[in-house]
């Protein structure tokens, strides 16, 4: 697949948007990338089932770079809870490995699209309801954090997102302030993305029908363009996140998730 000027422009615009959302919402941008990369690949002749898998893998690989840019900006503002990152990271790496090298390889793309739609809709509803956690609730002990990290890494590996759609609601449910949860989620995006991306490369080595420029399930030309643009825009999203009130930030989060869930539901049912 040749990167013609129109395709480069589409990917660059997508990268700018996802970079902004990564900084704004701590979601790594993956939930925007997956639907649009699916559209781009299927429109250029990649089989629908394979396109979904490649979109998920390529999306996750871009988060390796986007998360670095985003977390640097959040860290400068003192918003990242590094104590939480350290406690969740071991489980995240384990869960990501199980998802990307095991379950992901055997599931059909249509099922992954439906799973994406269902779980993202659930996350959006939780955020929109804005149910207040019990004042006494705190983060669990080390065992609970490892299990929580494993769930975040596993679910992220199946849908190609940076984990913010799970980690942000989880942290706010445990009474972590919203802005801290978004910033910490951005930091968690790096181990999630790195572990899963390596798994997608391994799992896709023997797959037939991959377009030229693919490394495993990852479409490298798209990765290069999207990652470059998203890294440039992520700090602007961080700036906006710290300027918005908490309720408005949650509503933006929920709206974005619903729109993306609706598209992937369509892909899973009818494409």
Torsion of CA 40, 41, 45, 50, to 10 degrees: -150
Give mean pLDDT, residues 39-57. 87
Cα(182)–Cα(179) distance, integer angstroms: 5
pLDDT per position as a tens digit, 195-247: 888 889 988 888 888 888 899 999 998 899 988 888 888 778 878 877 777 67
Number of domains in the chain: 1
Mean pLDDT within 161-179: 78
Tokens 């065992």 belong to residue: 143
Residue 30 has pLDDT above 70, yes or no: no
- Predicted structure pTM score: 0.75
The tokens describing 182, both together, are 């978004």
Q: Which of 270, 222, 227, 262 is nearest to 44 (CA)?
A: 222
Q: What is the pLDDT of residue 218?
A: 94
Range of the domain at 113: 5-270
> How many C-alpha atoms does 125 have within 13 Å on its Cβ side?
7
Q: How confident is the model at residue 82 (pLDDT cuts 50, 70, 90)?
A: very high
Label residues 163-176 b or e (16+ Cβ within 10 Å = b).
Answer: bbbbbbbbbbbbeb
Predicted pLDDT of residue 132: 60
């Amino acid at each position: 697949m040749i990167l013609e000027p129109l395709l480069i422009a589409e990917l660059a615009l997508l990268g700018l948007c996802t970079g902004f959302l990564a900084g704004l919402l701590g979601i790594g941008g993956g939930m925007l990338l997956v639907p649009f990369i699916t559209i781009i690949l299927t429109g250029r002749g990649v089989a629908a089932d394979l396109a979904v898998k490649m979109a998920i893998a390529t999306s996750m690989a871009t988060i390796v770079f986007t998360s670095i840019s985003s977390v640097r900006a959040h860290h400068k503002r003192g918003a990242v809870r590094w104590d939480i990152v350290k406690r969740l990271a071991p489980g995240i790496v384990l869960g990501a490995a199980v998802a990307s090298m095991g379950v992901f390889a055997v599931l059909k793309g249509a099922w992954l699209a439906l799973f994406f739609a269902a779980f993202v809709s659930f996350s959006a509803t939780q955020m929109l309801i804005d149910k207040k956690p019990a004042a006494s609730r705190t983060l669990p002990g080390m065992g609970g954090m490892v299990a929580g990290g494993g769930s975040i890494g596993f679910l992220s590996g199946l849908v190609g997102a940076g984990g913010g759609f799970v980690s942000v609601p989880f942290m706010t449910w445990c009474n972590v302030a919203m802005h801290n949860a978004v910033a910490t989620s951005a930091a968690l995006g790096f181990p999630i993305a790195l572990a899963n991306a390596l798994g997608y490369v391994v799992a896709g080595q023997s797959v037939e029908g991959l377009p030229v420029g693919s490394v495993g399930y990852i479409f490298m030309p798209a990765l290069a363009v999207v990652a470059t643009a998203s890294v440039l825009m992520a700090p602007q999203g961080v700036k906006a996140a710290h300027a918005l009130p908490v309720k408005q930030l949650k509503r933006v989060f929920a709206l974005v998730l619903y729109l993306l869930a609706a598209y992937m539901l369509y892909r899973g049912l009818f494409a």
